[in-house]
Amino acid sequence: MPHIFETKQIKEALEKLDIIAAMEEAFKAYSAGQMIVSPQGELPFKKPAGKMNLTFGYMKNSPYFMVKMASDFPGNTKLNKPTGNGMLSLFHKETGEVAAAFVDEGYLTAARTAAAGAVAAKQLAPKVIHKIGIFGTGVQALLQLDYLRRVTECRKVMVFGRTEEKRQAYLDKAAALGFEAEEAEVERDVAEQCNLIVTATSSHMPMLTADMVQPGTHITAVGATTPQKIELAPLVIKNADIVVVDSLIESKKRGEAYHAVQTGLLKQNTLLELGKIIDNPKKGRLTEEQITIADLTGLPAQDMVIAQAVFQTLTA
């Protein structure tokens, strides 16, 4: 019989794992051609607006393959429900039998995305972080901060959100994580005071423009997961010294680099995959004055690695 795991069990298992190290291996494996994936499927809805994405794939050296369903319904915020949900299943690669179903309400995706943000910061952020800037006040924005604790000693954070109520709630949660937290009145405040910035929103309009970004800044952008979403003005991407994506293939379809290429400000061949940076750090940040950007839209390799790690922990 297949195992069925729920969110509480999954969260407990994740506490026992080094997910950041696991994500580093996932990125390296993907860039080394060790991940087999099929094109992502998408089922859109109009009333209410939303979508269901279907991804599937396997690692060449894994005994399992993975199928994930992930929903995104932005209107859920008005219902006090998470905008993202879903589940993931592992199947035995030799027989096609179900090994496990993770009814995780989208938490595995959220956790691997946050861990990927920590990987990007570990590889590309300046050595000394004065203050962390966060755009967004949702689950992912908080998880990004939580995972950053594992790769930086900085405990100062500034957050920019759409509403006062959400900002205050975020500040309270950030304080509970051990951060000295403050809110930003405008986007420029974050850019001027923070040299490690994370954008974790569903914005369809750029929040950071090129004139705001200071030398020595690292930006991790995780929100632009569809062609319509954008968090950074394309000129921000053009002016960066290093632009890293999780997948060169996916960067042709979505993400911050996608918009910069589409507007003619950036050449696709100037982009680097994060897995290549992890494998050879000399391709990453070389000086404290460089501006670096990690444009992360998510990989099935991340889902595969985190699901297998949790599965092994829960069945040990």
So what's the pLDDT on residue 78? 86
pLDDT at 167: 93
Q: 206: which residues sit within 8 A by CB, 6+ positions away?
A: 230, 231, 232, 233, 234, 236
Q: What CATH number was assigned to the domain covering residues 3-108+301-314? A: 3.30.1780.10
CA distances from 30 to 92, 145, 194 (A): 20, 25, 31
> What pLDDT does 83 receive?
84
- 68 among known catalytic residues: yes
Catalytic residue of the set 68, 78, 166, 267: 68
Residues of the chain with pLDDT under 70: none
Task: Return the residue matching tokens 């709630």.
Answer: 169
Residue 42 three-state SS: strand
- Distance between CA atoms of residues 48 and 249, nearest Å: 30
Contact present, 300 and 66 (Cβ < 8 Å): yes
**Extents of the domains making up the chain:** 3-108+301-314, 117-299
Give the pLDDT of residue 146: 98
Q: What is the pTM of this model?
A: 0.94
According to the CATH classification, is domain 117-299 in 2.60.120.620?
A: no
Q: What is Dmax (Cα atoms) for the chain?
A: 58
Beta bridge partners of 242: 292
Cβ 30 vs Cβ 301: under 8 Å: yes
Strands 98-103 and 132-135 come out as unpaired
Contacting residues for 178 by C-beta, under 8 A, at least 6 apart: 149, 155
Question: Cα–Cα distance between 123 and 292 in angstroms, integer?
Answer: 10
* Alpha-carbon span 277 to 44, nearest angstrom: 35
